[in-house]
Amino acid sequence: MKMPDAAALLRCLLLAAVVPDPGGAAEVSVWSRSINSTQDAVFRKTLYANTTIYMRFRNDSGVCDRRLAFNISWYLRSSACYNEVFNTPNNRAISMFSLDHMLKDGWSGFYSQGFMFFENCSSLFMPKVYFSDFNPYQLLSSPESDSSNQTLAWPDKPDVSAVAKAWKDSPYLFIVKVQPIYRGPEEEEVGAELPNFAFTMNVEMRGPHDYSSPADWPLMMFFMVMCIVYVLFGALWLFWCVCYWRDLLRVQFWIGAVIILGMLEKAVFYSEYQSIRYRGDYVLGAVVFAELLSALKRSLARILVLIVSLGYGIVKPRLGTTVQHLVAVGLLYLLFSSVEGVLRVTGGFYGTVALLANLSLSLIDSCVMWWIFISLSQTTRLLKLRRNAVKLSLYQHFTNTLIFSVVASIVFIVWTTKVFQLVDCQRGWRNLWIDDAFWRLLFSTILLVIMVLLRPSANSQRFSHSPLIDEENEEEEAKEPMLNEAFEGMKMRGSKPDTNGSQKLLSKEDEDLKWVEENIPISVADVALPAMLDEEEEILKTKMERSKME
């Protein structure tokens, strides 16, 4: 099989590495903000229709100045464009407060707004029903047209602490303004200094699937399915290992380790999304642990593909100095992958350190893939020279799988760039989860192919490195070119068969057999033959032991 052009593969892999990953941490649904002055707060989330937004206020300091009144106003805006909600900076989002029109022509959405007035802090901290009815929502008008007068009312009544309700599945921007008002003995005194105050504002968004969002729900289901898939992978691999434990190869232990780490990774991520669903927020330590575990699994996965490509245990009995290179690459990938993952989930993904980690990770990944295909090319060429059909078939299937994964990656990158990057309005926000799921599914497919190709069986040793056979093949390969060079330039004689010569050979063999029958007794042959066979077996065993010691 012809190997792909290495330069073209490198260009494709570099393209895959430099495209940014829009994915980030899962969306939370519960926020706590400390308020101690006139403040504005911005919240972003994709919501299901009929999701209710609650606001509660808690006095943590125990200080309550009854001369202070509070006017708390809010603004809820939905948009068909994901980038309008999640890519707008906070300072610009605050300027959109009370805006009744779209930012650009062709965009669409709705908005709703309202306010709550509290005469003193005691009424602020008391749970109550803020509105008799949910405030109606209106259609956003185009930038150059007049405001829309169309309002849509809610038939149901709000619960305690409920302020607004989502009208459709969409990305939402929720802005809250807190304005303290001083109400001293002389209300006409405009320049009076505000007394100190401090309280905590809790915002909660709960919908049909508890605290889960429509952007994260498919990803949670994906992790649940993948967790089951990896459990099946582990059970199948354990069954094979138990049945053929005498014939296990060293590379098969690597495969088992990657399966175990993949199972743990999917279970931890699924538990994280379950925690967000029922609690509204995640535990930071658990999220960081999940990212570190994922980084470790991805590092070992790349090393696994590399050692299979290098032919460890199949073509080469040992890797020699290559082990140091593998360890260095694995540690570097683990380091930068851990930094990138932790910064992404903690909200620091846009700093200089994050950019450096992302670029380094892309470069290491590209070098690893380049190394994989170069090693595969060399291993396949060596097996062709040795005429080892079984091992050559194995590596041809493995190479085809990797080529398919590269082609699928390029197609997917082009699609995601077109849908998520090169558009003015990102309407395909429901498919954002695919960007994370695709790469995990792609590696699981490669792992499944490796499991099938290198599965433990009664004939596992046909894939193992056999020193005597390989050395004989190498000697034959070395002799063949020398013979060809020695006879190169010699003219071929006539191809007419020499009947007299063949008759002489046959008569000579008959004479030798006749002499053996006449001079060597049958009993002597019966005794000598087993001894000769035993001696040959001892020689073969000695050669085998020497090759193992070397």
pLDDT in tens, 188-219: 454 556 667 788 899 999 999 989 999 999 99
Question: Which pLDDT tens digit goes with each residue over 412-425?
Answer: 999 988 888 888 88
Judge whether 280 lies within some domain. Answer: yes
In this predicted structure, the answer to whether residue 5 has a pLDDT above a threshold of 70 is no
Q: Which of 422, 440, 468 is the last residue of a domain?
A: 468
Q: Which stretches of 387-519 are DSSP H helices?
A: 389-416, 432-453, 467-487, 499-519
What percent of the chain is predicted at pLDDT more than 70?
A: 73
Output the pLDDT for position 318: 73
The count of domains in the chain is 2
Same domain for 379 and 286: yes
Residue 495 identity: S
DSSP state of 211: T
Average pLDDT over every residue of 350-355? 71
Q: What does the alpha-carbon distance between residue 163 and residue 113 come to, in Å, rounded to a whole number?
A: 9
Question: Which pLDDT tens digit goes with each residue over 106-129?
Answer: 788 899 999 999 888 888 888 888
- 31 or 388, which is more confident? 31
Judge whether 419 lies within some domain. Answer: yes
Same domain for 234 and 165: no
- 294 or 184, which is more confident? 294
Average pLDDT over every residue of 77-92? 89
In this predicted structure, the answer to whether residue 508 has a pLDDT above a threshold of 80 is no
Most confident of 87-91, 150-154, 391-395: 87-91
Q: Which of 468, 497, 526 is the last residue of a domain?
A: 468
Q: What does the alpha-carbon distance between residue 346 and residue 115 come to, in Å, rounded to a whole number?
A: 32
Average pLDDT over every residue of 18-27? 52
Same domain for 195 and 285: no
Output the pLDDT for position 503: 52
Q: Which stretches of 4-141 are DSSP H helices?
A: 6-18, 82-86, 90-95, 121-125
Contact yes or no for 48/168 (Cβ under 8 A): no
Average pLDDT over every residue of 249-274? 89
3-state SS, residue 161 = coil
Question: Which pLDDT tens digit goes with each residue over 449-476?
Answer: 988 888 887 665 555 544 444 444 444 4
Q: Which stretches of 115-157 are DSSP H helices?
A: 121-125
In this predicted structure, the answer to whether residue 437 has a pLDDT above a threshold of 60 is yes
Contact yes or no for 197/36 (Cβ under 8 A): yes
Phi then psi dihedrals of residue 163, to 5 deg: -120, -30
CA dihedral 59, 65, 67, 68 (to 10 degrees): -30
In this predicted structure, the answer to whether residue 248 has a pLDDT above a threshold of 70 is yes
Judge whether 499 lies within some domain. Answer: no
Judge whether 330 lies within some domain. Answer: yes
Contact yes or no for 306/278 (Cβ under 8 A): no
In this predicted structure, the answer to whether residue 427 has a pLDDT above a threshold of 70 is yes
Same domain for 160 and 224: no
Same domain for 221 and 202: no
Q: What does the alpha-carbon distance between residue 179 and residue 402 come to, in Å, rounded to a whole number?
A: 60
Same domain for 222 and 128: no
Judge whether 524 lies within some domain. Answer: no
Same domain for 291 and 268: yes
Same domain for 263 and 404: yes
Same domain for 166 and 266: no
HSE, side-chain direction, 13 A CA sphere, residue 73: 11
DSSP state of 145: S
Judge whether 547 lies within some domain. Answer: no
Q: What does the alpha-carbon distance between residue 137 and residue 393 come to, in Å, rounded to a whole number?
A: 65
Domain with residue 356: its CATH number is: 1.20.1070
| Closest among 394, 255, 373 to 306, alpha carbons compared | 373
The average confidence (pLDDT) of the chain is 78
Output the pLDDT for position 247: 74
Output the pLDDT for position 509: 58
Same domain for 222 and 172: no
**Lowest-confidence pick of 87-91, 116-120, 406-410, 507-511:** 507-511
Which domain, by its residues, includes 136? 30-206
| Closest among 405, 362, 26, 411 to 222, alpha carbons compared | 26
Average pLDDT over every residue of 85-113? 87
Output the pLDDT for position 548: 57
Contact yes or no for 385/477 (Cβ under 8 A): yes
Same domain for 223 and 165: no
Q: Which of 152, 176, 206 is the last residue of a domain?
A: 206
Question: Which pLDDT tens digit goes with each residue over 516-531?
Answer: 556 655 544 454 445 4
Same domain for 316 and 200: no
Output the pLDDT for position 473: 46
In this predicted structure, the answer to whether residue 151 has a pLDDT above a threshold of 80 is no
